[in-house]
Amino acid sequence: MSQSELHRDFHDLGKLSAADAGKVVWVRARIANVRAKGNSCFLVLRQGPFETVQACYFKDKSAPERSKAMLKFMGGLTCESVVDVQGTLQAAQVKSCSVTDVELSIQRVYVVSSAEAILPFQLEDAGRPEVEVEASQSTDRPFPRIGQELRLDNRWLDLRVPANNCIMRIQSGVCQLFRESLYAEGFVEIHTPKLIGGESEGGAGVFKTDYFGRPACLAQSPQLYKQMAVSADLGRVFEIGPVFRAENSNTRRHLCEFTGLDLEMTLDEHYNEVLAIAHRMFKHIFEGLETRFAKELAIIREQYASDPVAFTDGPCIVHWPEAIRMLREEGGMPEVGELEDLTGAQELRLGELVKKRHGADFFILDKYPSAVRPFYTMPCPSDAAYSNSYDMFLRGQEICSGAQRIHDPDLLTRTIAAKGLPMEPLESYVNAFRHGVPPHGGAGIGLERVVFLYLGLDNVRKASMFPRDPNRCEP
């Protein structure tokens, strides 16, 4: 309980240095490790994902009783407890901590918050690269494998693992960079409703709820609403918000709730304007991560190895027919259909081929067949079998989907009929275009997808703070 201010004037571990040797300081930190042996006790203190320091206490012969009690107390400290430590800085050489040139000679220790002695897993075990864990299995002392479910059941603990903690900081950075880029292009932030009246906004995979006696469902995307924001003369809009998909997909890249980074904008002449803005935006994210989040990336890459993403200066655009030709001729996949959607394997292969040809891990596949895109996608003017739509790929997997949208209510009505969809639930959507709306297009991006593919992780769940899948809705 906040009582009075004690003026302990806590120090950041990262700022401790041998230059201050002799000074008495207070630090608040977690206990990462305790080694008590006879007449001494060594603690490793940790602050966040970046900093650790060694703190030590030796038996004081001039005060044997107090000293004995202190050693007993310290030996009983548990890992992950939060403590306030007062100590004198003294020059030292400590290889195993981030603070290498100084340690704390302990005078006082107070427990601020005590962790249970038996934790679900040790952070040290949870923080080892998987290759090390696997390599150890054939030795005398195999490292324990810390499974995903155990980690997720205790996610607050799992996220203290430095690499995992930094993944969350990278997630934050992606949002920050996304917005920076779009603010610079004149975008306005919007917040669209997640509760939508009616049985469904179209299609399966919808979570339903009772809304004061009437049916409602959770938004599968802000699509309709961001288009209405354009109709409302906001010009260029973006939203960062949750997206809900009640799809029973248990894969490494699907979530039932994820964070959508959405944008929508008027077009002057061509939907290439969206591609240009989206490309600049991703470039800003990739460059910003490597420069402004280098410390976080270094820590993540110690546990999960990955190279920075290779990308081109201008948009690297591959048109659909060219992609099909590449897959058939160079990719050894003659079975690829001309107007069918690509499988995950085909997408990965295409990613390899584009990497070989253009040196890029990041590219745009443009002009998708109309048959595999939603009804609101603008057909290609020269061939209605194709559409003014695209996906963006990172390391061979989709991170973004976008298109020019149909803004003409009559064309929209005809497209809905041609797709064999019922008109009635889409009536109000179409009506929203009857009061005049400028040509527009946009993009929808999955935040967790961007993070997990950028970092070359094996599972999207690692990029979600509290992932939701068909088997998990807690903690």
Q: Strand, coil or helix: what is 349?
A: helix
Of 337, 299, 343, the closest CA to residue 321 belongs to 337
Q: Is 4 a catalytic site residue?
A: no
Nearer to its own copies, 124 or 408 (CB): 408
In the complex, the smallest distance separating the C-beta of residue 458 from its own copies, rounded to whole angstroms, is: 21
Question: What are the residues whose beta carbons fall under 8 Å from the beta carbon of 427, sequence distance 6 or more?
Answer: none
Restricting to residues 11-30, name those near its own copies by CB under 8 A.
28, 30
Q: Is 328 a catalytic site residue?
A: no
Q: Per CB under 8 A, does 413 bind its own copies? A: no
Q: Per CB under 8 A, does 267 bind its own copies? A: yes
Question: What are the residues whose beta carbons fall under 8 Å from the beta carbon of 299, sequence distance 6 or more?
Answer: 49, 50, 162, 163, 166
Are 414 and 457 contacting, i.e. CB atoms less than 8 angstroms apart? no
Restricting to residues 331-370, name those near its own copies by CB under 8 A.
none
Tokens representing residue 467 in the block: 């992932």
Residue in the block written with tokens 């990462």: 32
Q: Per CB under 8 A, does 244 bind its own copies? A: yes
Catalytic residue among 11, 30, 245, 440: 245
Catalytic residue among 51, 201, 398, 448: 398
Of 12, 13, 98, 87, the closest CA to residue 57 belongs to 87
Tokens representing residue 443 in the block: 């993009």
Catalytic residue among 11, 279, 440, 449: 449
Q: Is 253 a catalytic site residue?
A: yes
Query: 320-329 and 344-358 are packed helices; what angle lies between their axes, rounded to 10 degrees?
Result: 90
Of 190, 320, 200, 199, the closest CA to residue 260 belongs to 190
Considering only the stretches 59-67, 244-252, 299-307, 394-402, report the one whose residues sit in contact with its own copies under the rule CB under 8 A. 244-252
DSSP letters of 236-297? EEEEEEEEE------STT--SEEEEEEEEEE-SS-THHHHHHHHHHHHHHHHHHHHHTHHHH
Q: Strand, coil or helix: what is 173?
A: helix
Residue 285 phi, psi dihedral angles, 5° rounding:
-65, -50
Which one of 132, 134, 233, 458 is in contact with its own copies (CB under 8 A)? 233
Restricting to residues 96-155, name those near its own copies by CB under 8 A.
112-116, 119, 154-155
Catalytic residue among 247, 273, 302, 330: 247
Q: Per CB under 8 A, does 250 bind its own copies? A: no
Q: Per CB under 8 A, does 171 bind its own copies? A: yes
Nearer to its own copies, 343 or 431 (CB): 431
Q: Per CB under 8 A, does 235 bind its own copies? A: yes
Nearer to its own copies, 22 or 156 (CB): 156
Catalytic residue among 155, 179, 254, 319: 254
Number of residues near its own copies (by CB under 8 A): 110
Nearer to its own copies, 165 or 181 (CB): 165
Restricting to residues 44-63, name those near its own copies by CB under 8 A.
48-49
In the complex, the smallest distance separating the C-beta of residue 235 from its own copies, rounded to whole angstroms, is: 6
By annotation, the residues acting in catalysis are 245, 247, 253-254, 398, 401, 449
